[in-house]
Amino acid sequence: MQRIGVFVCHCGSNIAATVDVAKVAEMALMEPGVVHAEDYQYMCSEAGQAKIADAIHEKKLSGIVVCSCSPRMHEATFRKAAERAGLNPYMVEIANIREHCSWIHKDMEEATKKAVILMRAAVAKVNLNTPLKPGESRVTKRALIIGGGIAGIQTALDIADAGYEVDIVEKTPSIGGRMSQLDKTFPTLDCSACILTPKMVEASAHEKINIYTYSEVEKVSGFVGDFTVDIRKKARSVDMDKCTGCGVCQEKCPSKKAPSEFNRGLNTRSAIYTPFAQAIPNVPVIDREACIKFKTGKCGICSKVCQAGAIDYEQKDEIITEKYGAIVVATGFDTINLDKYDEYAYSQSKDVITSLELERVMNAAGPTHGHLERLSDGKAPKEMVFIQCVGSRCSDDRGKPYCSKICCMYTAKHAMLIRDKYPDVNVTVFYIDVRTPGKNFDEFYRRAVEQYGVNYIKGQVGKVIPQPNGKLLVQGSDLLDNKQILKEADMVVLATAIEPNPDVRKIATMLTASIDTNNFLTEAHAKLRPVESPTAGIFLSGVCQGPKDIPETVAQAGAAAVKAIGLLAKDKLMTNPCTAHSDELLCNGCSTCENVCPYGAITYEDKEVNDHGIREVRRLAVVNSALCQGCGACTVACPSGAMDLQGFSNRQIIAEVDAICR
Amino acid sequence: MSIEKKEFKPKIVAFCCNWCSYAGADLAGSSRLSYPADVKIIRVPCSCRVNPMFILRAFEKGADGVIMCGCHPGDCHYSTGNYYARRRMTLLFSMLDYIGVENGRTRVEWVSAAEGVKFSDTMNSFVEKIYSLGENVRLGDLRCRS
Amino acid sequence: MGAKKKQAEMIEEISGVNPLKCMKCGKCSATCPSYNEMDIKPHQFVSYVINEDVESLVNSKSLWKCLSCFACVERCPRDVKPGKLIDAARQMVVRKREQNYLTPDEIPELLDPELPQQLLVSAFRRYRR
Amino acid sequence: MKYSYYPGCTLRTKAKELDDYARASAKALGFELEEIEDWQCCGGVYPLGTDEIANKLSCVRALNAAKEKGQELVTVCSACHHVMKRVNDDMRNVEDICTRANNYMELDEPYKGETDVLHFLEVLRDKVGFDELKKKVVNPLKGKKIGAYYGCLLLRPGKILAFDDPENPKIMEDFIRAVGAEPVIYPYRNECCGGYISLKEKDMAKSMCDKITESAEGFGADMLITACPLCMYNLNKSSVREIPVVYFTEILAEALGVKESCCKEEKEVQA
């Protein structure tokens, strides 16, 4: 029989205001095995933990139940406290009477009743707990970064500087990401390329960093400290070792009609291409869809002009398998598709563009060589209208319910830059709210208004109406003047909502990392563990976790690196002892469990057993506890009831069910 | 206690996987999104840990409804656990009707860690359903009833 | 419950609209083809209901200027449906005795030979009980 | 192929040619429109109030008649199409309305939105196919620059009508291409013509219609097509501009070479 202690936490008034904690403690004493019960204001405080330790010593407790907040919050705290007092940490159970009780119920009597039942279930379970011992697993001292934008580059540099090997996998032919497409950055108006390219060079030159561009993660297996990852290196059709990056092939390539991804499709590129001049690596790829040689078999000009003999039409995709201790996701974002917002005439007029497209238009390496001009006729605009919140803050299924966070600031930046370079161009911004929380952000926005005379109108635009003369009529609200405005514009710029890179869903599934309804990766704790995924060993860097600007992204990238370094610095990890185990006498050797195990943790061995005096060799399931992650799929699949899960055994769960239904 | 009409207070067991729906329930709690106290949650590592036996046991012991929540299909922390759970429950539920437990008394829902609202909405609608079905008299062992 | 509150709740019930969903972006007013004819503008419908001033709403010209073209409904980013709110206010008027906006006596002088039945039928539906 | 057909009040009277051309074209394209018996007027506008049931019953009767025949229900008039689809959506998705309507109707088997409602244009796009239509055109309308006028009733609310992209529709443009003419895209094609407001507020309707015709002409349209008798009336009556406005079925009948015969029959009947 266990000697159980029950500790009921007030959590200040969080629990005590709706649950009669003294009553819960009193009722606990009536439960089988309970020899001690008390309540205290803050069980998680040092004094609270001391009370637990004292009771363990004095009452010789063999198990404890803490009625408190969610086990996802303080289970680890109380297990450690118990361990310090000499109790096996797995003899601790938590009854969640805060998140699952006091916070959602208002009636004291009802909430107290429920808290008592939750306590009973935990007591019933702990009565059947057995001491468990975690195993150990090794840590591969190498990190994988998925995504080579500013987030991925920064995380890679920080991890590599700490002395660990880092691989970056980037889908496109070059690292650099979205930041490489930006012209200037707010609020200091630094040239984006000028501050990014040194980082790109540093990453590529770093002896600890290895970059796989034009590559994708294809398969992930294993677990924290010991992931095995397949990376598909797509056929570049150019030998990276031989290519000198002279660029002649791109110049001579006769197929020049493919839309340029880097310039958001606003102009075209050759079939053999590097996305932009400062690309790293400076080795082109052949776009096989656009290449005449691949389409018709005739051409081969690039091969003829390449003095280094680097062109290789026969190159095939290559799969590289590598082991990692930690994985950082830095997959970034894209702007949403505007098909469902055609009241803004995006698909009907070339002069309605997104803000990211405007970045390319304003950039010297862009489709207009940095001249602000209409994409329909090349004329210089006189009136520009910016529309905010296009697809952001939408609760219908056309857009995104969240604020994209960066648009208010980049629009102020665009408006300011245009007014600065082209003082004769009038700039009007239709906004719902201007949101500028950030260092020097509101000052920046006010400068746009006060110093540069940008006209901000509070109200959304209802429709952009292309006119036969090529102009655009913008029909919007001025809520402060209570007017409907018709404004003729030459160009309209849409502050298009951002969304996580569409590939992230696939990647999250491979990593078994949680993702929210907007496809942002979920953090382990919204406030206290913002750069870790709930899945151990997976870290989050940049916009894949939520909308962010560059300074925030860089800060978070550094934080993710620190967390990854903290993991890589360990030689061994304690494994979760709540693993499956099979009762040799019950196992019938059917292999059902082996087939459902997602980790390959179950194998079959011929073993000699002593079944009630009969000694014989049988084929039996054996669980490799280093591989088992404790999901329990095998326990339900097992037809003979041999397989059970430690810490969540059949008897334990049934005891909980019984206690609840009592 | 008097023998007069007792107000019906259903017993409802909710199995929640540790990674998504238990976290979703926590989020519902920290967001103060209420649902009836009739629901009691049992934490399991994964929805695939839920043995059909547990559900039968609950009904046998007098539960009026059992709901199982897991990660959305494709988002399972253990990759495939919720697919197993889905198949097992489909099979079990189809047979429950046969032994006298109405379809409405069992439910499977996918709730992610970010879906506190969905968790509370789900529980509210499930409890409402159980109230409309009334007490589960058919499987419960009447001798156990007070 | 006060009479004003009751009226506001009635509007919410008939329309099925939750005015608290509005984020005051003004897209409804930006999109409304009858905007200039209205005294109370589409984006204001919501605040009149929230402030329980249904009286002003039912006495407004806007009631009879809304085309029910659903441009505000389609383009509203918060799914508020201002067009349904104003229709509910119109319903509250025409459901009362002798409050029709169109009487049969008016019809003959409004008629012209090409006028389609559809126009009369629609107008009757919107203007009368 | 046979469809249940709901002509609606105006197609029986003022917009008779819209109906005649539709039937003749259907015949030429190999499907038949079987008129629902004893149909009643849809009311012209959808009753928006969540508590209105009686106003929706005429639609439910027609929808149920089609269900009993196991046919899809086809309309030509935009307004009928709009009301019919929205009532059907209520019957499918709004439990309260469905129950109350069925309580009134006392049908042998309750109607729960089983019938699919199709606009004639949807039949052309989804059942016949515009490529197939193109093949059957004997008299392509070469060189004609035609603007499609959708108005509001065909497209909105987009989610319920599920007819086309409410902001950038293309079904009528594809139709215009199929009959051999050139579509003219202009921004006011999905803005309201004023609708029923033209009965009492002629000036309002006029200013709206002017915007539409001005925009269409500005983009080079010689002619507008519409699927709604009320749009047609407003555009013809209220606008100062003289751009011709015809029903889409008229140019369809013309392209299929059945326009003349259709009118002849008509005249014979009248004579």
Q: Please, which pLDDT band fits residue A215 given cuts at 50, 70 and 90?
A: very high
Give a yes or no: residue A651 inside a domain: no
Report which secondary-structure segment, H or E, holds A622: strand A614-623
Is the pLDDT at A444 greater than 80, yes or no? yes
Answer yes or no: is pLDDT of A585 > 80: yes
Residues of A in Cβ contact (< 8 Å) with B115: 516-517
D158 with D69, same domain: the answer is no
- Whether residues C115 and D233 touch (CB distance < 8 A) is answered with yes
The CATH number given to whatever domain includes residue D29 is 1.20.1050.140
pLDDT band at D265 (very low <50, low <70, confident <90, very high): low
Q: Please tell me the predicted confidence (pLDDT) of residue D12.
A: 85
Count of the separate structural domains present in chain B:
1
D170 shares a domain with D67: no
User: How many domains are contained in chain D?
Assistant: 2
- At B137, list the tokens: 């008299």
Mean pLDDT score of chain A:
96
Residue D163 has pLDDT above 90, yes or no: yes
Range of the domain at A276: 248-305
Number of Cβ within a 10 Å radius of residue D148: 28
Instruction: Specify the pLDDT at position D271.
Output: 43
The ipTM assigned to this model is 0.88
Do A408 and A458 lie in a common domain?
yes
Q: Are residues D137 and D248 in the same domain?
A: yes
- In a shared domain, residues C77 and C126: no
Q: Are residues D65 and D9 both part of a single domain?
A: yes
3-state class (DSSP) for residue A411: helix
Query: How many distinct structural domains can be found in chain A?
Result: 5
Distance of CA A366 to the CA centre of its chain: 31
Instruction: Please provide residue A18's backbone torsions phi and psi, each rounded to the nearest 5 degrees.
Output: -120, -10
Give the pLDDT of residue A189.
93
The residue range of the domain holding B25 is 12-138
| Within-domain flag for A252 | yes
pLDDT value of position D260: 84
pLDDT mean over C102-121: 86
Read off the pLDDT of residues A68-115 as tens digits, 9 standing for 90 and up.
999 999 999 999 999 999 999 999 999 999 999 999 999 999 999 999
CATH code, C9: 1.10.1060.10
pLDDT of residue B1: 43
Same domain, residue pair A186 and A66: no
Which residues on C lie below 8 Å from D194 (Cβ)?
67
Q: Are residues C76 and C126 in the same domain?
A: no
Partners of A339 on chain D (C-beta within 8 Å) are 165, 168
Asked if residue D230 lies in contact with residue C126, where contact means CB atoms within 8 angstroms, the answer is no
Angle between helices B52-60 and A650-661 (to 10 degrees): 30
The whole-number average pLDDT for the span B138-144 is 58
Ramachandran angles phi, psi of B67, nearest 5°? -125, 140
Q: Which of A342, A466, A467 sits opposite D167 (nearest CB)?
A: A342
The percent of residues above 90 in pLDDT, for chain A, comes to 94
SS3 C5: helix
How many angstroms separate the CA atoms of D245 and D236, rounded? Answer: 7
A660 in a structural domain:
no
Residues 73-92 of chain B with CB under 8 A from chain A are 74-81, 84, 88
- Domain range holding C112? 102-129
Q: Which of D8, D10, D50 sits opposite C14 (nearest CB)?
A: D50
Question: Residue A18 has which token pair?
Answer: 């709706």
Q: Residue A550's pLDDT is what?
A: 97
**Same domain membership, residue D95 and residue D25:** yes
- D20 within domain boundaries: yes
Collect all residues of chain A within an 8 Å Cβ-Cβ radius of residue C28. Answer: 462
C23 neighbourhood in chain A, CB within 8 Å = 393, 432
Would the CB atoms of C116 and D230 count as touching at under 8 Å? yes
pLDDT tens track for A599-612: 889 999 999 999 88
Does D149 share its domain with D84?
no
- Pairwise CB contact (< 8 Å): C24 & A475: no
Q: A285 to each of A169, B55, B106, D190, how far by Cα in Å?
A: 16, 57, 55, 45
Structural domain contains residue B18: yes
Do A550 and A439 share a structural domain? no
Mean pLDDT of A280-289: 97
Does the residue B34 lie in any domain? yes
Which of A438, A468, A499 represents a domain boundary (last residue)? A499
Do C and B share at least 3 CB pairs under 8 Å?
no
Contact C27 A461 (CB under 8 A): yes
D106 plus D155 within the same structural domain: no
Whether C38 contacts chain A with CB within 8 A: no
- The answer to whether residues C72 and C13 belong to one domain is yes
Note the Cα A416 to chain centre separation in Å: 33
Could you tell me the pTM of the whole model? 0.90
Cα within 13 Å of Cα(A191), Cβ side: 8
Instruction: For residues A44 and A62, state if they share a domain.
Output: yes
Contacts of A399 in chain C (CB under 8 A): 77
Among residues D120, D148, D166, the one where a domain terminates is D120
* Same structural domain, A189 and A259: no
Mean pLDDT over the full length of chain D: 92
DSSP H helices, chain D, are 9-12, 16-29, 57-69, 78-93, 95-105, 120-122, 130-136, 158-161, 171-178, 202-218, 229-238, 248-256, 259-270
A588 to chain B, minimum CA–CA distance in Å? 19
Q: Are residues D6 and D116 in the same domain?
A: yes
Residues D82 and D145 in one domain: no
C125 pLDDT tier (thresholds 50, 70, 90): confident
> Residue C118 and residue D9: Cβ atoms within 8 Å?
yes
Confidence at D238, pLDDT banded by 50, 70, 90: confident
User: Does D187 touch chain A if contact means CB atoms closer than 8 Å?
Assistant: yes
Q: Which of D178, D158, D177, D179 is nearest to D167 (CA)?
A: D158
Residue A435 one-letter amino acid: R
Q: Is the pLDDT of residue D267 over 60?
A: no
State whether C109 and C67 are in the same domain.
no
Whether A435 and A348 map to the same domain: the answer is yes
In this structure, the answer to whether residues A469 and A346 fall within a common structural domain is yes
**Structure token pair of residue D232:** 């047609």
* Residue A603 forms part of a structural domain: yes
With respect to residue B54, please indicate whether it lies within any of the assigned structural domains. yes
Task: Show residues of chain D in contact with C14, CB under 8 Å.
Answer: 49-51
Inter-chain residue contact D167 with A340, CB threshold 8 Å: yes
Residue A589 forms part of a structural domain: yes
Q: Is residue D269 part of a domain?
A: no
Range of the domain at D205: 132-256
In the block, residue with structure tokens 């196992």: A587
Peptide bond into A466 cis (omega under 30): no
Strands A472-478 and A461-466, bridge-based pairing:
antiparallel
Domain count within chain C: 2
C92 and C106 assigned to the same domain: no
Q: Answer yes or no: is B145 within a domain.
A: no
Query: Quick check: is D125 in a domain?
Result: no
Q: Are residues C61 and C41 in the same domain?
A: yes
Q: Are residues D242 and D141 in the same domain?
A: yes
Q: Is A110 on the interface with B (CB under 8 A)?
A: yes
DSSP string, A361-383: HHSTTSTTTT----TTT-PPPSE
Task: Say yes or no to pLDDT of D270 above 50.
Answer: no
For residue A217, pLDDT over 70 is answered with yes
